[in-house]
Structure 1
Amino acid sequence: MRAWNPPAVPVVPGDGVTPLLHDTASGQRVEAGVDDVARLYVCGITPYDATHLGHAATYLAFDTLQRVWRDAGRTVHYAQNITDVDDPLLERAAATGVNWRELAATEIEGFRRDMEYLSVLPPDDYVAVTEVIPQVGLAVERMLQGGVAYRVEDDVYFDIAAAQEVAPWLLGEESGLDRDAMLALSAERGGDPDRPGKRDPLDPLLWRAARAGEPSWPSAVGEGRPGWHIECSVIALMHLGRDFTVQGGGSDLIFPHHELSAGHAAVLSGHPLARVYSHTGMIAYRGEKMSKSLGNLVLVATLREQGLEAAVLRLAVLAHHYRSDWEWFDDALEAAGERLARWRAATANRALAVGADAELEERAVVERMRAALRDDLDTPSALRAVDQWSATHPPAATGLVPAAVQALLGVTL
């Protein structure tokens, strides 16, 4: 599937650095991307509603990671899925009287516009679930044949206990949750722990057999459609291979989605899904977590249509560390706009004659930005480095800081 047009990313002189990322599974900061090619998978949208700030914050975080990798001389291979057939999409389509394919197409196109507006680097592989139905079916068939899946009526479930015996994967290793917490989240986040016939209430659905009135496809395991977690396992293994560099997403995906996707991939490949599991914090608005179910959304499309410059929105989001939970206040845009104005005013003071002191100062600023971003993508510290430069820099400037701001933060001055 087509992604969106990439933004310009200037090459900044000097030596970029490989980032240290917080790994959710180990709780440690680890060097992410020591190979020449850094491979990244970030879970994509279920296209039944518009992009909100929670989505934007996640994709801006991993956009920053891509930019830091590129600055360090890495080639980046980025894959992202689209869950373009799933219960929330079908339910919204039925409630609104819109064909589910039309609803998905409309929201995917809106997502493209929002990402391009925000200057987010697009994935190399942008893959809809409906494009990989045969491959998912074959993967599920392999699991059945390998004894790590079983049928309940015509549906197919993943056997967690059997998987833990044959694959290098342990339930709870990534999330650190106990069983009671897992059961509660499974029920809340798309699981069916109370279904009779399952070997373990936590066993997730791999393949949903055809139901009347629902879309379905032929496959190696019968007519139906994929479960939620298996789609990401198959797409990631197809396009990135095993042991890829980073799997990313919001912290609400740690369990069950990311943990069970990793389990599926371990069974299919015999290896861990990823080396680092990285997650963004949640954004609250009006006192509660921003979510479609609560309806307390700040939509990117609304801000875009109101004429807000994307650089302002990027700065408002990047002012918070990607792993932190924080609350959105509408005056954040005013503060970000004032910051952008200060930076641009400093840039406008450039002179034709460039002094050696100015060049040394700008190089020092860029190195402070790089050091901040190496340290678990510390964008607030990177922004403060530019703040200090904009307040004190001499009238002669080299243009190095504006180039670094565009390359590393996605903001054009």
Structure 2
Amino acid sequence: MELLAERPAGLADLPGDLAGLPTPAYVYDLAEVRRNHRRLDSALPRGTGLLYSLKANPHPDVLGALRETGARPEVCSSGELRAALEAGWPGAQVLYTGPAKRDAEIAAALRAGVREFSVDSPHAITQLDRLAGEAGVRARYLLRVNDDQPVPGQGLAMTGVPSQFGADTGWILAEPTRFAGGEHAEASGLHLYMGTNLTEVDDLVGQFRRALGTAARLREALAPHGVRFRTLDLGGGFGAPFAKEGTAVELPGLREGLEALLAEELPGWRENGPEVVFESGRYLVGTAGTLVTAVLDVKRSHGKDIVVLESGINHLGGMSGMRRLPPLSPRLLGPGGPPALDALVAGPLCTPLDTWTRNGKLPELSPGDLVAVPNVGAYGLCASLVAFLGHPLPAEVVVDGDRPGAPARTSRVELVRTTDPASADRL
């Protein structure tokens, strides 16, 4: 970890002095969100759709900017559904995913107008069919598929391994009648999310080729049972830098590769269907976010430099802070100067697990200095251990690089504990 710049990258256009920011703060630039959407949209075949995965960042201003671009929402919880509806998307545009859902969640989604769900098992199909019948509506589902083998080049295995996500391809082929729908829930397509955090165009095209090949096998198996695919969700996995320097990944040749692939595997799909859609979370918002935090203390302990920040594993890193995943070593940007410290960089939590790195090559720092972690617009605050030990949550500050005179908008999420057993049934 190094501190490199006089001012944290990505904040050059922030109104006012950084010293006036409430810290710690996640700062999101909506102009970067729009640029990322334009970049990805232009890299996908004409006539395909693009869904935004709210799990990456459900901030209402971020959602509003993406809704204005024409992206549709993909949610996997009642909280994310509420955020999508409050951002202005109608329930009919929502795809509700997730490997398991409570009856109350599905019933509430149906009441809100959601009609398309992703399911992972025969039980989930039966559950959706029953609840749609009780609501007096007809629902559709995309059958999520766990393919035979993992996709190479991905950051996190999403298919080809034992998983709560999807039904194994072999299972569907062996028992197609169990996946063919019910009286109130229609099988309308496949959900083929196979890879994540892929940064090479060849890897992306390779996973989509695999997905379309699997879709052809399943279409042949399910067609005799009355299933007609209206939608193919090919997932995404478009990579982006996280907690380190970098810019949004360029995708040269992706559109041409996908156009050729779709023409080969789905001739006439634009005229006759199915609708082809992709998903993205981190690519659209990852480079739009920066975590700004202050130095609280600098000292030496047993011959080691120690830098303590306002932010720790409770604000960035999610379960990596608890050693459930490999720990992060985020890049810090801040006051320049030659390396003078070989520091353990820690947060304020009362646990020795609260460290970001043990070997940070840093310039001299003093309490009150501001530093920043770039490219944390995705899976930053919303994936962090914000409730761990009850420390206050960071503020969220939204700026708009397309409107340099507009004031920054600051908000703060408050954790609320409820003992109302009916709350899960309300949006």
Indicate whether the TM-score tops 0.5: no
- The TM-score normalised by the length of structure 1 is 0.28
- The TM-score normalised by the length of structure 2 is 0.27
Q: Which has the higher strand share?
A: 2
Q: Which has the higher helix share?
A: 1
